[in-house]
């Protein structure tokens, strides 16, 4: 368990909170590309690390991430007119370009340079992997953009989902990197459940973890059904500081690989981005992915990307279905995760937990994040921002291997970029 002070350091991200200030030094998704697909499209309101922002694409197709509030009377620019090369506030007509500069102030003609002194906070943008990314830290500290392997694929070879969640980012990450819960919470509905169940029904895997330059990786090591004396079934999951998890692709290799990103909205809310991508050149049906995960906008999600199934309706849990074969009575892989995470409250009291050996990854994530933020406070280099990081080679994996084969050999990253920190298990 963590102390109350450690829990606050881990979870608080707004204002001057050290964790939020550290996270500003990393590139972060601001919205889906589809939300701002066309020039002069409807502006998109978003909040990241407690800061209210608006994303828009101007007449020339240039993207912008700027302060949501017009500096005149602080009305929302998300209501603004996106036209003729800028975003115009509907309240008094002040207009701003993608760099945040005021280019028109019709209520204050010739006001002694007043217009030129008005400027919105504006952040750099980068469009990749079906998302608009932004960097919110000091310009001098802006890192190399992380070009992951799915970003190099044609758009029809990956799918992206987005869901808002009323929990702290760390709570959501802990669900993503918890390998032991899949055999319970998601039983029967995971794409490769049949193959996985045929491979092993070992519900108490041995867990081992190792620090890396990007964060850490860990293995859930299970005894397989076949050849239990000579083989082991290994699932290697990766955590990248500060909010990304690489989930092992299914044992059925024709299925998609999976990456999860948890963007802190504020201390008690986060936005989940799930990326599902092909590793064999096959086409990925984004509509099907969203239906399977019950994340279809307008059907499962409201206009703000929040779930219709929520704590108010108890996630539409079907108790009759639970009596007839459904373990949870909750439809959808993501809904099941979020129901459990949200049932804890927006920021779980980690002083009251009772962790076990199956929670090694949870413990390691907290330890690594606390180490990361303390390094930031001490002015040391940040974890995961080494300019030489081969982002496109980071990959999780699950395999059945000979019992003597080290778990570290499972996954494309093994042997290619050694961790600087001494490995610990």
Q: pLDDT averaged over the chain?
A: 90
Q: Which of 226-230, 266-270, 333-337, 361-365 has the lowest mean pLDDT?
A: 333-337
Rounded distance between C-alpha atoms, residue 366 and residue 370, angstroms: 6
**pLDDT score at 234:** 92
Tell me, yes or no, whether 58 and 79 share the same domain: yes
Q: Is the distance from CB of 99 to CB of 85 less than 8 angstroms?
A: no
> In this structure, are residues 59 and 87 in contact, taking their beta carbons and an 8 Å threshold?
no
Percent of the chain with pLDDT over 70: 92
pLDDT at 284: 95
Domain that holds residue 111: 27-141
Q: What is the pLDDT of residue 425?
A: 37
Query: Same domain, yes or no, for 82 and 203?
Result: no
Compare 187 and 59 and report the one with higher pLDDT.
Answer: 59
Domain CATH number, residue 287: 3.90.380.10
Residue 173 forms part of a structural domain: yes
Whether the CB-CB separation of 93 and 103 falls below 8 Å is answered with no
Q: Which of 112, 141, 170 is the last residue of a domain?
A: 141
Q: Are 206 and 262 in contact (CB under 8 A)?
A: no
pLDDT of residue 253: 63
- The answer as to whether 425 is a domain residue is no
317 and 367 belong to one structural domain: yes
* Chain segment 195-248, per-residue pLDDT in tens: 666 787 777 889 999 999 999 999 999 999 899 999 999 999 999 999 999 998
Residues 86, 154 within the same domain: no
| Mean pLDDT in residue range 140-145 | 96
Do residues 108 and 226 both lie within one domain? Answer: no
- Do residues 42 and 78 share a domain? yes
CB 177 within 8 A of CB 192: no
Compute the Cα dihedral for 192, 194, 198, 204 and give only its sign: positive
Q: What digits encode the pLDDT tens for the residues 268-292?
A: 999 999 999 998 889 999 999 999 8
Whether residue 186 sits in one domain with residue 100: no
Asked if the model's pLDDT at residue 132 lies above 80, the reply is: yes
What's the CA gap between 147 and 133, in Å, rounded?
Answer: 12
Once rounded to an integer, what is the mean pLDDT over residues 170-177?
93
Q: Examine the domain organization and report whether 86 and 120 are in the same domain.
A: yes
Give CA–CA dist 11/19, Å, rounded: 8
Q: How many domains is the chain partitioned into structurally?
A: 2
Q: What is the pLDDT of residue 3?
A: 95
The pLDDT value recorded for residue 423 is 38
Q: What is the pLDDT of residues 59-91, one digit of tens each?
A: 999 999 999 999 999 999 999 999 999 999 999
How confident is the model at residue 194, as a pLDDT? 61
Q: Are residues 84 and 176 in the same domain?
A: no
Cis check: omega of the bond before 242, within 30 degrees of 0: yes
CA distance 154 to 11: 36
Q: Are 136 and 155 in contact (CB under 8 A)?
A: no
Q: How far apart are the first and last CA of the chain?
A: 18
Is the domain of 130 the same as that of 165? no
Looking at the fold, whether 130 and 185 belong to one and the same domain comes out as no
Q: How far is CA 153 from CA 128, 149, 162, 281, in A?
A: 10, 7, 19, 8
Give the residue from 98, 113, 141 where a domain finishes: 141
pLDDT above 70 (res 97): yes
Share of the chain above pLDDT 90, in %: 69
């Amino acid at each position: 368990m963590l102390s109350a002070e450690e829990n606050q350091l881990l979870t608080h991200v707004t204002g001057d909170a050290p964790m939020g200030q550290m996270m500003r030094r990393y590139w972060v998704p601001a919205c889906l590309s589809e939300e701002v697909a066309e020039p002069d499209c409807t502006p998109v309101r978003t909040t990241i690390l407690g800061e209210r922002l608006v994303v828009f694409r101007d007449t020339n197709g240039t993207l912008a991430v700027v302060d949501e509030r017009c500096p005149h009377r602080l009305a929302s620019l998300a209501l603004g007119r996106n036209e003729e090369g800028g975003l115009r506030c509907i309240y008094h007509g002040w207009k701003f370009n993608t760099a945040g500069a005021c280019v028109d102030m019709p209520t204050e003609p010739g006001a002694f340079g007043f217009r030129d002194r008005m400027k919105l906070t504006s952040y750099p943008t980068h469009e990749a992997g079906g998302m608009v990314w932004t960097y919110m830290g000091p310009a001098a500290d802006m890192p190399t953009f992380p070009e992951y392997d799915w970003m190099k694929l044609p758009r029809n070879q990956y799918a992206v989902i987005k869901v808002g969640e009323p929990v702290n980012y760390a709570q959501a990450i802990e669900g993503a990197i918890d390998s032991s819960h899949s055999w319970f919470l998601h039983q029967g509905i995971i794409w490769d459940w049949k193959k996985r169940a045929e491979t092993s029904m070992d519900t108490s895997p041995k867990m081992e973890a190792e620090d890396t330059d990007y964060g850490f990786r860990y293995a859930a090591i299970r005894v397989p059904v076949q050849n239990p004396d000579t083989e082991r079934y290994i699932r290697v999951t990766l955590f990248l500081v500060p909010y990304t998890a690489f989930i092992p692709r299914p044992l059925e290799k024709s299925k998609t690989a999976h990456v999860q990103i948890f963007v802190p909205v504020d201390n008690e809310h986060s936005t989940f981005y799930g990326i599902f991508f092909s590793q064999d050149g096959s086409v990925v049906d984004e509509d099907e992915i969203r239906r399977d995960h019950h994340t279809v906008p307008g059907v499962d999600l409201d206009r703000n990307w929040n779930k219709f199934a929520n704590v108010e309706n108890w996630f539409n849990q079907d108790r009759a279905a639970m009596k007839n074969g459904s373990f949870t009575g909750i439809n959808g892989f993501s809904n099941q995760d979020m129901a459990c995470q949200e049932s804890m409250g927006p920021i779980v009291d980690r002083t009251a937990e009772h962790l076990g050996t199956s929670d090694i990854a949870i413990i390691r994530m907290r330890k690594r994040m606390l180490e990361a933020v303390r390094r930031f406070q001490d002015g040391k280099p940040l974890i995961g921002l080494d300019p030489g990081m081969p982002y496109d080679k980071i990959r999780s994996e699950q395999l059945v291997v000979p019992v003597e084969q080290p778990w570290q050999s499972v996954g494309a990253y093994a042997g290619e970029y050694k961790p600087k920190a001494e490995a610990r298990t």
